[in-house]
Amino acid sequence: MFTLFKDIDLAGKTVIPFTTHEGSGLANCVSDVKKAFPKATVTKGFSIYGHEVRSGKAKVEKWLKGLGY
């Protein structure tokens, strides 16, 4: 992820962080993205347990609706 961050420019773009996990939640994901792309708009992030992915469609949809999608 950090290798990619060095090679792209997201100035003026909106970045929507999301991740799966098994207990760490978003950890430093949002702050890392904000630090890597200070000229981007970084929204509130979303995380879901990896074992919930198959049954978590409603959670993802609720999060996306909250973003306006």
Q: What is the pLDDT along the chain (69 residues), one digit of tens a residue?
A: 788 888 999 999 999 999 999 999 899 999 999 999 999 999 989 999 999 999 999 999 999 899 886
Residue 66, helix vs strand vs coil: helix
18-21/46-49 β-pairing: parallel
Residue 4 near residue 32 (C-beta atoms within 8 A): no
Residue 29 near residue 19 (C-beta atoms within 8 A): yes
The pLDDT assigned to 2 comes to 80
As a whole number of angstroms, the distance between CA 28 and CA 47 comes to: 12
C-alpha 33: how far from chain center: 9
Residue 21 near residue 53 (C-beta atoms within 8 A): no
The pLDDT assigned to 50 comes to 93
Count of structural domains, the chain: 1
Residues spanned by the domain of 25: 2-67
